[in-house]
Chain A
Amino acid sequence: MIGRGMIRFSHVAAAAELLLLLCSAQSARAQMTTQVSQPVLDFDYSRGRNVSVTERPRPEYTSVGIPVGGFTLFPSLSLGAGYTDNSLETRLDTRSSAYFELGPDLRLVSNWSRNSLQVEANGQFRRYTETPVRNESAWNVFGSGRLNIGDDSTISASAATGQKYESRLSGGSPTDLASATPYDYSHGAIQGDTVLGRIKLTLTGSYTNTTFNSVQLTDEVTVDQRYRNNESYNLVGRAEYGLTPDVSTYVELSFDDSDYDRRYAQGLNFRNSREYRGLVGVSMDLTALVRGSAAIGYGSRRYQSALYDKVQGLSFEAHLEYFPSELTTVTFLGRRVIADASIPQSSGYFNTAGGVRVDHEFLRNLLANVGIDYEQDDYRGIESRSRIFLATGGARYLISRTVGIGASVAYGRRKNTGLDVGPSFNETSGLLSIYLQK
């Protein structure tokens, strides 16, 4: 399955709410990254033995949509009201603020027995009562299709464009930033996979273009961020061998070519790079208790500029689900990947993250979750380490097929040791929302 490319975090509470929204539609995948880019190949380890709390179908509360020929249209709207004790996400001069959110969504999905096509357009608009400089207007248009070739092969393609906001928990933002950090992106990917007996082969190629808009600092100075504009080409290949129906091993090789706009680089201060990564992993769906995928390997990113040292070392990805009962799912995530730094003194950093999330079904229409994510960014070329901690909790009550309500709270903290890279701050926020769907 092709991932959706970039995941958006604009705010600690939005991160928690996004967890809830993702929960309702797809498998629970605690978002612990603060990166703009995500790995393109999703985990696919389910063999149909277990059903997680968030995956479980709830036909009494699922929208039926509006039939449109061979498609079904799913319109929805979310309305939210929240509060944060640190709307500017700074260490000094914290300002609390209430905010309101509006999230329209329109999704068109095919009803075909073979092949599929899906188009979606959505937006998320946030307005702060006390700090309008942090207002956000994000939008996204996404399309994907799958072509079945015989019984064992598929070709999938996806494309997306829109405007998102970078999370302040990321180290990419200036320390004294006042406004949100918007960026425009375009993403396209094509994936082919085929099954040959016990072997499954997957190859994915993708292109991502990211353009950063100017931002405003606390002293009202505008900063040009076009030096962060980036184009990347990514190629990932995976070969998986089924040892048993429940366990398989795989090898994954990936290549990433990242180019920055040299017009905005100062001298050799550009981060064009190439990264190679190899992973060896296992995918399993064992008994009724646990399933998941884990891989370990090595990654190396080399920069064209003589200013920047290569970043290389251990790399891993893990996603495990534990089912203590049918009403509870515990999800463990782990990752270590290389990312580009946004300060001149450093080439890149290792983003090492881990998280755990518990989803529980109190009633068929009352779901709750708590989660903790921890991330550590170790920079190359400078003595600097950033630690990000995110604790979230939320609940969702499905009233009917068309109406539901949700609540979430979140606490986020970012702390630097050594040279400051990005802001240090902590924030507590909460959000109440209602969603309407057809």
Chain B
Amino acid sequence: MRFISLIMAALLATMPCVVGAQTTPGGPVTAPAAPMSAPQGGAAAAAGGADSAAPVLQDYKLGIADQVRLTVYNEPDLSGEFTVNASGLLSLPLIGDVSVLGDTASQVVSKVQQKLADGYLKDPHVSLEILTYRPFYIMGEVNKPGEYPYANGLTVLNAVAAAGGFTYRANKHNVFIRHAGSDKDEKMSIQPGLQIAPGDTIRIGERYF
């Protein structure tokens, strides 16, 4: 009886691999493609005031230090959580490094699918989810300048609150934002809905009167 139970357990464990498994060259089995998930906010420590219904970052382009979850349907060995390294590459199993710097999530999915289909899998189905965005940086006239985790929908005022609030010398009317990859600061008027993007460097200026 005990021997029969063990046989049954082994059969049950192998069943998902048989039903929908993508196999190595020689016998792939396809399954309906899983829908690509839109980028979602990861750690929300800095988004104390961010609304859960806040608008999702559209056409977000991946950058260094973004953390993603890549799921290849029926291939658990090819799925997992990966971080964009300093070279802007995702190091994925089987297909190696994939350049993703500056690509949107859909572009990355297309690249990975193309590489997997090129001699490894037949009709691969890939989904990508952004777990954690690059941090943002805030400095100048805030009480605790530094690096903070980004959360979807974060505004400038949220960022200032995360950094301990304005100092007594802060200019509360204007802010200087430098986006990742840019070499110029953009001066903007601080409005309640002014959003920031991952990787932004925010500078709160000093007032003289």
Contact = CB atoms under 8 A, between A and B. Distances in A.
Contacts of A363: 206, 208
A368 to B, nearest CB: 11
B166 to A, nearest CB: 10
A365 B138 CA distance: 23
Interface residues of A, number: 9
Contacts of A327: 168-169, 207-209
B141 to A, nearest CB: 10
Interface string A342-371: 000000000000000000111110000000
A193 B208 CA distance: 41
Contacts of A364: 169
Contacts of A325: 209
A80 to B, nearest CB: 27
Interface string A208-242: 00000000000000000000000000000000000
A361 B206 CA distance: 12
Contacts of A362: 208
Contacts of B206: 363
A183 B73 CA distance: 96
A326 interface: yes
B168 A326 contact: yes
A325 B207 CA distance: 11
Nearest to B207: A327
A325 B208 CA distance: 11
A363 B168 CA distance: 11
Interface string B174-209: 000000000000000000000000000000001111
A364 B206 CA distance: 10
Contacts of B209: 325, 327-328, 360
A362 B169 CA distance: 9
Interface string B90-121: 00000000000000000000000000000000
Contacts of B207: 327
A360 B169 CA distance: 12
Contacts of A361: 169
Contacts of B169: 326-327, 361, 364
Contacts of B208: 327, 362-363
A325 B168 CA distance: 9
Nearest to A325: B209
Nearest to A361: B169
A317 B4 CA distance: 101
B142 to A, nearest CB: 15
A325 B169 CA distance: 10
A362 B206 CA distance: 10
A327 B208 CA distance: 8
Contacts of B168: 326-327
A326 B169 CA distance: 8
Interface string A296-330: 00000000000000000000000000000111100
A285 to B, nearest CB: 17
A127 to B, nearest CB: 38
A364 B208 CA distance: 10
A328 B169 CA distance: 11
A37 B124 CA distance: 94
B129 to A, nearest CB: 45
Nearest to A360: B209
B201 to A, nearest CB: 22
Nearest to B168: A326
Interface string A89-104: 0000000000000000
Contacts of A328: 209
A52 to B, nearest CB: 12
A5 B206 CA distance: 40
**4 tightest A-B CB contacts, nearest first:** A326-B168, A362-B208, A327-B209, A327-B169
7 contacts: A326-B169, A327-B168, A327-B169, A327-B208, A327-B209, A361-B169, A362-B208
Interface of A: 325-328, 360-364
Given A361-B169, A363-B208, 10 more contacts: A325-B209, A326-B168, A326-B169, A327-B207, A327-B208, A327-B209, A328-B209, A360-B209, A362-B208, A364-B169
